[in-house]
Amino acid sequence: MQNKITNNKSEKKYILLLFAVSMFFTGMSGIINEYILAKLSTDILGNSAIQWGIVIGVMLLMMGIGGSIQLLIKNNQLITGFVTIEILLAILGSSAPIVVLWAFGYTSHNFLLFLYFYIIFIGLLVGAEIPLLIRLSKLYLKETTHVISLIFSMDYIGSFIGTLVWLFFIIKIKLPLYKMSYVVASFNFIAALITFLYLTKTERNKNNGKIIIFIITSFMIIYSFINSDKWENLIYQKLFKDPIIYKIDTPYQSIVLTRNSTTKKHYLYINGNTQLYEGDEKIYHESLVIPALSLWNRSRVLILGGGDGCALREVLKFKDVKEVTLVDLDPEMIKFAKNNPIMKKINNNSFKDSRVQTLKADFINYTDKQKDIYKEKGYNFETKLYEYEKIAKVNVFNVDAKKFLENVNKFYDVVIIDFPDPNNIELTKLYSLEFFINVKRKLSKNGVFVMQSTSPTYSKKAFWTIKKTMEAAGFNTVPYHIDVPSFGDWGFIMGSQRKINKDYLISRFKNLKNWEVKTKEIDPATFISSLNFRKGLLDDNKNYIINTLANPVLLDFYLLDGWKDY
């Protein structure tokens, strides 16, 4: 291609604007594509720190290689080459989430091939963009030094804006990744279209074939966008053994509810992991809540996590509980557990509107904005009125548990912690020494706390590391475990600043036939038996490393050492 250097000042401005806009859009879409692929990899494989590092690292490597490969494009094909790259990025970027999800559902053993196909080729194409645009600038503009500076500046600015869009828009709204990828793809398509239309404006009659390609590509993307919900539902169903009856993607997690065709009972999944099974969840929640609340004072109870409302259901059985505070990060989880008819049945409507007040983080230090909970006693034929008895005050906060503990100005008699397993770096922080120290600061002197602590069978090192970390925070601890059919052998750890051990709990409950409240699965004898561990499950390493924010060893114990034989 011969040089088309223009001396027309107006023309120069338009070309500079074209390059600036193109580079801005490509920079923004490039960084968001990296984030989408990293998030996609994390959602499927877990361990966000490793997945984000691998995906972005591989893409940067491919970008470097792409910068060299673009030299194979001849000078007389630069416009075609740049436009082709942007169209390919639009197609690959828009299809990546739905295709990778399909591969995971239908070819689970080979889905990494699909994932890294997108990572590698999107990286190569992104890496070719800047060098190609620089070469194009030399064909149209005489002074290229400031043009090159502009191209790099707009790429970096676009990347920064893309980061802001990701942080403050994409992850804040409910639009799933497979939808957002089409929006991002439109940026590449716009860059290709405006570049093509302007730089070939004098050759329109020679470009009918390329115009047809643009039209076909646009229809492909629009058609895929329109049908993506249907495709996603079909693919998602493949990931679960039972029919999906409810699904929502929140900024924090994916929530799926299924119904077993045989038992007609329901499974709740969070990010693909079983959260509860209607047929045996009472084993888990009664084990988590009832023993701790049966020990000492229970006037004020704090629940961290437990957005499904089942732990709250168990707490509200105790009539002398005066105040309950539930802290769960995801407001959509609370809405789901509060309003979905199936969840309301499972949690016994523990989030009923008239009984529970949901408050924002601004109200953490409040003292007088609580709602009393009343339970209907019956109809009084003398007064001709229904009578109610006061049960408790319940408050629900949608805020990070760590932030809540750092800001709340109250002490609690019982703290119940029902977090997901520590399968990523964010969750590992909630099992750290620093977190347990914060728990201790908000626990009354004679208080007790209990935490689900993953499985001592499937993740032995993680279980005992959690116990050691609690003890390093100044707690006396007692581990126990029970078989939950949908989970397998599952562990809990109870902690207190009071002297508490296995013998104390046995003596405390051995003469009880039943708890003070009605339970379906767990009685005192069952709990006492759960205090015993077979020899192979006992702590055989007295030198476990404490899990801290600076040294989150629990993540490796859980991911690399736990579950490896199962």
Q: What's the DSSP call for residue 258? A: E
Annotated binding site for S-methyl-5'-thioadenosine: 253, 328, 400-401
Annotated active-site residue in 418, 421, 523, 540: 418
Q: Which residues contact 150 (CB under 8 A, 6 or more apart)?
A: 16, 19, 20, 23
What is the three-class DSSP state of 98? helix
Is the C-alpha dihedral spanning 148, 149, 152, 158 positive or negative? negative
Residue with tokens 């495709």: 231
What DSSP line would sit under 21-32, residue for residue? HHHHHHHHHHHH
Strand partners, 224: none
Q: Give 99's DSSP letter.
A: H
End-to-end C-alpha distance for the chain, whole angstroms: 62
CA dihedral 241, 246, 250, 252 (to 10 degrees): -40
Q: Measure the CA–CA gap between 299 and 456, rounded to whole angstroms.
A: 31
Tell me 408's DSSP state: -
| Alpha carbon distance 96, 102 (integer Å) | 10
**What is the rounded CA–CA span in Å between residue 404 and residue 4?**
63
Amino acid occupying residue 455: S
Which helix (H) or strand (E) covers residue 493, if one does? strand 488-496
Query: Under DSSP, is residue 217 helix (H, G, I), strand (E, B) or coil?
Result: helix
Question: Where does residue 252 rank: exposed (0-12), middle (13-18), buried (19+ CB within 10 A)?
Answer: middle
Residue numbering of the annotated binding site for spermidine: 285, 308
Q: List, in order, residues 6 or more apart from 335 with CB less than 8 Å away.
A: none
DSSP class of 267: E
- Concatenated DSSP letters for 319-366? TT--EEEEE-S-HHHHHHHHH-HHHHHHTTTTT-TTT-EEE-GGGTT-
Instruction: Tell which residue, 302, 348, 344, has the closest CA to residue 327.
Output: 302
291 three-state secondary structure: helix
The per-residue DSSP string of 41-75 comes to HHHHH--HHHHHHHHHHHHHHHHHHHHHHGGGS-G
Cβ atoms of 113 and 250 closer than 8 Å: no
d(CA 337, CA 317): 18
Contact 283, 277 (CB under 8 A): no
Cα dihedral 520, 521, 525, 531 in deg (nearest 10): -140
Strands 357-359 and 323-327: unpaired
Q: Is 413 a catalytic residue?
A: no
Known binding-site residue numbers: 253, 285, 308, 328, 400-401
Residue 215, Cα to own-chain centre: how many angstroms? 37
Residue with tokens 């959509």: 332
- Where in the sequence numbering do the catalytic residues fall? 418
